[in-house]
């Protein structure tokens, strides 16, 4: 248990005296001259020109998105068969033929999405490169990357789920 001593009256008097001004009174609560001026307003929406991407970066963006679209399509086409095989393998023992087959199919499914993962990585490289030169371009590239990143995240989650279903 802590034992506190009450503060001495002299100490309390010194603390209260420090709150006063040199004239002996307390500071005024009235507005200062600089507070009465017009408040600082948020800058208005200026009519800025829409962001224009160079033809070089537009071609890179289109190529990366096309790579992802093709890979994601292949992934989606192969997914139902792997899901079915994984569900069947869930009831088998590790090392059985069905279990091995499910792992092989899952591995092949993972490989079909390799271009999606590579496109995401290449978008990251472009964003890093562009961010050093032009923040507007980096923001535009990040927007273009978003659907690829979302699809890859869903793919990762489904691959992990199927792996758990099959069992290690």
Per-residue pLDDT reduced to its tens digit, 79-132: 999 999 999 888 888 888 998 999 999 999 999 999 999 999 998 888 888 877
How confident is the model over 67-83, as pLDDT tens digits? Answer: 999 999 999 999 999 99
Highest mean pLDDT pick, 27-36, 51-60, 99-108, 133-142 = 99-108
Q: Which two tokens stand for residue 154?
A: 């869903």
Please state, in angstroms and as integers, the Cα–Cα distance from residue 46 to each residue in 18, 42, 53, following that order.
Answer: 49, 11, 20
Distance CA 57, CA 79 (A): 32
Distance CA 80, CA 97 (A): 20
In total, how many domains does the chain have? 1
| Cα–Cα nearest to 67, from 123, 116, 125, 122 | 116
Is 129 within the bounds of a domain? yes
- The secondary structure of residue 95, as a DSSP letter, is T
Alpha helices in the chain (DSSP H): 9-18, 33-36, 55-89, 97-112, 114-133, 135-166
Is 2 within the bounds of a domain? no
Does the predicted TM-score (pTM) go above 0.85?
no
Is 110 within the bounds of a domain? yes
Is 70 within the bounds of a domain? yes
Is 127 within the bounds of a domain? yes
Q: Are 79 and 109 in contact (CB under 8 A)?
A: yes
Distance CA 142, CA 140 (A): 5
Range of the domain at 95: 55-166
């Amino acid at each position: 248990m802590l034992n506190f001593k009450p503060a001495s009256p002299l100490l309390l008097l010194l603390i209260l005296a420090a709150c006063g001004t040199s004239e002996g009174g307390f500071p005024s609560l009235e507005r200062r001259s600089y507070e009465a001026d017009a408040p600082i307003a948020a800058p208005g929406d200026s009519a800025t020109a829409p962001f224009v991407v160079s033809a070089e970066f537009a071609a890179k963006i289109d190529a990366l998105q096309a790579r992802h679209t093709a890979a994601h399509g292949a992934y989606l086409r192969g997914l139902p068969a792997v899901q079915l095989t994984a569900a069947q393998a869930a009831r088998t023992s590790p090392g059985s033929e069905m279990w091995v087959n499910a792992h092989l199919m899952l591995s092949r499914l993972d490989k079909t999405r390799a271009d999606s993962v590579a496109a995401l990585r290449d978008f990251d490289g472009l964003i890093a490169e562009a961010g050093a030169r032009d923040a507007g371009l980096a923001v535009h590239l990040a927007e273009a990357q978003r659907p690829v990143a979302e699809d890859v995240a869903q793919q990762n989650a489904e691959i992990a789920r199927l792996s758990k279903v099959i069992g290690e």
